[in-house]
């Protein structure tokens, strides 16, 4: 390919490979606490607590760029006009980077989006996926002596449990396609 076909986009690592309205997302995020030595089947972090890749997202960048180059070469050979773009899409596992990129108009003018996910078989799927929204809540309590003045305490853990219970009761009233899940990443510490 000619050198002048390449072009950089400001914040989202956009790579213009060929003139079509198609784009290929190239995710490059990692998950918290998944640092892992290569070829080891038991937990053996390179750096304890550091992020790492859990389901092949480390393959997206290079393979998406390769797919775009191959598509651009095929289009050039067949005389097909258009633009192929590769966008680096950060924060896919936990912060839904493409949602913010779409909100900010990064994909305006795009006709087709092609994506993929590493797996143990080769197949083509035509499907839609559920939307994802990550929300973080913080609960704050107030310490009190459990024997001398328990009435002065406020339990943040009780609030967390009530919210989770409410979500459990709400599940039966959701549409079939909706899902609600929760995790408590830091459940508190022993009072001092």
How much is the pTM?
0.53
Residue with tokens 């929300």: 135
Is the separation of the CB atoms in 24 and 114 below 8 Å? yes
pLDDT at 154: 92
pLDDT at 25: 57
pLDDT at 78: 92
CA distances (Å), 86 to each of 72, 89, 101, 112, 151, in order?
Answer: 11, 9, 13, 12, 59
CA distances (Å), 191 to each of 89, 139, 159, in order?
Answer: 41, 15, 17
Low-confidence spans in the chain with pLDDT less than 50: 1-20
């Amino acid at each position: 390919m000619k050198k002048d076909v390449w072009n950089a986009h400001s914040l989202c690592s956009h790579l213009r490979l060929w003139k079509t309205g198609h784009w290929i997302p190239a995710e490059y995020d990692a998950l918290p606490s998944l640092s892992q030595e290569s070829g080891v089947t038991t937990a053996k972090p390179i750096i304890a607590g550091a992020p790492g890749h859990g389901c092949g997202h480390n393959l997206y960048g290079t393979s998406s760029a390769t797919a775009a180059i191959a598509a651009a070469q095929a289009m050039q050979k067949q005389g097909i006009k258009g633009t192929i773009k590769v966008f680096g899409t950060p924060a896919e596992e936990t912060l839904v980077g493409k949602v913010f990129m779409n909100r900010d108009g990064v994909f305006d003018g795009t006709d087709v989006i092609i994506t993929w996910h590493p797996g143990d078989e080769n197949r083509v799927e035509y499907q839609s996926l559920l939307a994802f929204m990550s929300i973080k809540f913080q609960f704050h309590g107030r310490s009190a002596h459990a024997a001398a003045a328990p009435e002065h305490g406020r339990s943040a853990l009780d609030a967390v449990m009530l919210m989770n219970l409410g979500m459990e009761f709400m599940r039966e009233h959701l549409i079939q396609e909706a899902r609600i899940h929760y995790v408590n990443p830091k459940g508190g510490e022993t009072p001092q």
